[in-house]
Structures are given as C-alpha cells and as structure tokens.
Amino acid sequence: MLSSVLWIALSRIVLGLTPLLTLPALTEGLSPEWYGVWAQIATTLSFVVPLVGMGLDTAVIRYFATGFADEKRVRDFYSMGVFLAAIALGFLAIAAVGSRFLGSLMFSKPDLATYSVLAFIWVLIQGIYNYAISFFRVTGRMRTYAVLDAANGLTAAFVMVFIPLRYHSVALMLEGLMAGQAMFALAFLLFIYRQLGFSGISFKGIGKYLKYGLPLVPNSLFLWLVNSSGRYFLTHYRGLAEVGVYAAGFTIANVMTLFFMPISFVLFPVISKLWEEGRKDKVAAMVALANQWYLILAIPGALGLSFLAEPIVGLLSAKEFSGGVEVIFWLALANLFYGLYQINLYGTLLLQKNIRLTGLFALAGILNVGLNLALIPTLGNQGAAIGMLISFLFLAGMVFLWARRALGFHLDWAVNFKVLLSALMMLAALWLWRSRYPIKGALTLAGTIMLAAVVYALLLLASRAVRIDDLKNISKK
C-alpha cells in the first residue's frame, strides 16, 4: 500500500499545487466577476458529474476489488461506461434547450447561457475520465494512473496560465481545458482496452451495480450542498465578484486536500479487497492507521495555513482578491474535517448500508443550507465559510463514530493531544520567526514553511507522538 500511496501522493502534490500556481494568472488576467464565472462553472461541475456518474465508479471498486477475472466483468465494466456516457449526453441535450434558465441559475445572468452549455460538455468529458480512473484504482496500477493524471494536471495548468494572461477569456480557457482532458480520457480508455480487450456491451448485467451506486448519488448531491452551495447563495445575495473573492480563498484552503487525498484514494480498494477476503481485523487496523496519520499531517497543516494566510494571499492573487484572507481559517478547518469524513466514509461503504448514509448526508446538506440563509446575508464570504465548517464538523463526527463502532477500531487520543500541542508550539515558533523576519516574497515564505515543518517534526519526535519505529513499520502495515 505504501508505494501506491507515494505514487498518488506525488500526483496529488502536483494537482494540489496547480491551483496555487494558476491562481496568480487567473486573478491577474480575469476580473473578480469573471473569476466568479469560472468558479461557478467549477462548482456546477462538482454537482452534476456525480449525478451523471450514478455511483458506478464506486461500484466498480467495491465489486471488482479482486480484478477482472472473467469476460462478464469486462463486459459489465464497458457496459456501465457506455450507460454513463449516454446519461451525460442526455444532460447535455437538456442543458442546450434550457441554457438561458441555467445562465440565470448559475450566474444570475441569462446572457451567460453559452457558458452553461460549455459546462455540460465538460460534464461529459469529466464523467468518462472519472469512470476510467476506477479501473486503475481497482487493478492497483497507481504508477500509470499517477503519471497520466499529473500530466493532465500540468496541461490544465498551462491552459489556465497562458490563456487568461494572453487572451483574458474564460470561454477560450474552458475549451482548452476540455480538449486537454478529452485527450487524457482517450489515453485512459486506450490503455484499458489494451489490458482488457473488448467483450461487447450488455446492459442486462449492470442492475446490480446501479442498485449499489444509485443510493450514493443523493449522498454526493447533499455533500455538494455542504461543500459548494454557499457559492450559489453568494452569487444571488452578493454577486459574482464576491464569489470570485471567496473562490480565491477557497483555492488556497483547498491545499488541505493534499493531506487526505493520497490516503483515501488508495484506502478504499485496499480495504474492499481485505473485506471480501474476510480479514475484518486488518480492515479496522488500516482505517485506524489512516485516521492517525491523517491527523498528524492535517492538524499542523490547517493551523499553519491559517497563520500564513495573509502573505500567501498577497503573493498568489491580485489586490482585488485580498478579501479571501478572511475565509481561509474557517475553510482550512472545514477541509480538515472533510478529510476525516472522507477517510471514515470508506469504512462505512463496506457495510452496504447506503440508505442510512443518505439520511446523514441529507441532514448535513439541510444544515448547511439553513446556515447559508442565516449567515450569508449579513456576513457574506465569512458566513459561507463558517456554514461549511459547522456542516463538515457534524458530518465528520457522525461518520467517524459510525465507522469506529462498525469496524471496532480505536485511536490513541494521547497521541492526538501530543500532535495538537506540537502544532500549537510550532505556531508559537512561527510567530517568533515572523516577528523577526517578515515574509516579503516567495523565498521567505518557502523558508518559513520549511522551518515550520522541521520544528513540528522535531516536536513530534521529542514528545514521542511519533517514533522512528513507527515510520519503519508503515510500509509493513
């Protein structure tokens, strides 16, 4: 598992840092309003793509954990992909007919209808791309996937830097992003064909997977309410410019995903295989280990990011976006709890009690909508960020408790206390350092981050929250 995590970690570092590399170009080349348009398209994509996907990618990981042993599995895999593409084309047709309505809904401006249609073309491409990824996850070909996915991310980064600075056009940027991702989706499909061959298409066999995957769709939609609906409320209460400022802060806070994405990406196929083999004790140990190391990384990450928010925003975005500083603390903490939720969610998915999960997601989504309605009219961006934090705290707590009870794992809370104490001492060291050596550029910022990492690592070792033997034993587990 460790080698897979490392390959995915390298890929996710590239993808996670890409938004930070593109943010200066986007905020320099686009006005806050047009950056808000871009943010709304990305937000809409995160809502519709899971809807189109129907949970089929998760079903592949859950049921094909032992591989593609026979022609029926290969046929089912292709059949689900074709079914997904057909649904995506149907959504695109509806979007084309109702483009002006979508323009009003997404941007509060019917004359931006063209951008809503572009968004749904991207939904088709993204849906196929995401589904293809499930093959790499279930077969353990993490190196191939990591290289191709990182190349896709770097291609997207080039488009998002060159086009805004040269042409100042969101439409042209979208077309470039879609063309690049379509190229890599095709590369994924060709690789899969070379590995599996082709056994025809038959929709008779996909009912089992839809029965598992479809109950997950409302989960994704309710999760979208928690994670992204605040931008829609901001659009209608405060305007696209306010959304652009919020999105800039959100992009920086989203660096927190680097701490959990490599772990969660690899964890689900691994524990699914162990579960199918009846090794439930090993599943509990893996989930506990993932939780512990995630907290070791994420707690100092959230606190450090919040402390350095002002110089980071100053370096990475134009002055018009400086208001993004005020939301980073809330969003960094929200992402911390989002990661905790994501890791433990996979433990609950093994139980195949997806309807119960849906009810939990519905409560979290309704909670977030209520918080948005109460907080955004008066607090604006901060209201959206605080609502997201409270909602993810609720969701992470409930999923964690459920997974712990169902799987029977335990965390060492003495270690977590030492982690928190070490992170706070790291902040104190950062404060002393910044008072003596103010951050004036990228080099001093990088040096400050490296210093914080070294101080934190030494504090962990000194407090015995982490021991050298622990590091040696990770690969064995």
Express each pLDDT in 216-225 by its tens digit: 788 788 888 8
The whole-number pLDDT of residue 374 equals 94
* Distance between CA atoms of residues 241 and 245, nearest Å: 7
Tens-digit pLDDT profile for residues 151-187:
888 999 999 999 999 999 999 999 999 999 999 999 9
| Residue-wise DSSP of 336-350 | HHHHHHHHHHHHHHT
pLDDT in tens, 404-435: 988 888 888 888 899 999 999 999 999 998 88
- Cα separation, 229 vs 356, in Å, equals 23
CA dihedral 434→437→443→449, nearest 10 degrees, is -30
Please give the biggest Cα pair distance in the chain. 69
Helices (H), 197-324: 207-213, 216-227, 229-237, 240-253, 261-276, 280-307, 309-316
* pLDDT number for residue 248: 86
| Contact by Cβ (8 Å): 437, 444 | yes
Where would I find the H helices in 320-408? 325-349, 354-379, 381-407
What confidence tens digit (pLDDT) does each residue in 117-158 have? 999 999 999 999 999 988 888 887 878 888 888 888 899 999
- Per-residue pLDDT tens for 187-240? 999 999 998 888 888 888 788 898 888 877 887 888 888 888 888 888 888 888
Contacts of 276 (CB under 8 A, 6+ apart): 65, 66
Residue type, 230: G
Where is average pLDDT lowest: 16-25, 40-49, 252-261? 16-25
**Alpha carbons 173 and 162: distance in angstroms, whole number:** 9
Instruction: Give the range among 52-56, 263-267, 279-283, 451-455 with minimum mean pLDDT.
Output: 263-267
Token readout for 166 is 């040269």
Mean pLDDT of the chain: 86
8 pLDDT above the threshold of 70: no
| 467 vs 477: CA distance, rounded Å | 15
CB contact at 8 A, 55 and 127: no
Instruction: Pick the closest to residue 381 from 315, 312, 302, 328 (CA basis).
Output: 328
User: Could you give the percent of the chain with pLDDT greater than 90?
Assistant: 39
**8 A C-beta contact, residue 332 and residue 253:** yes
Quote the pLDDT of residue 140: 74
**Whether the predicted pLDDT of 460 surpasses 70:** yes
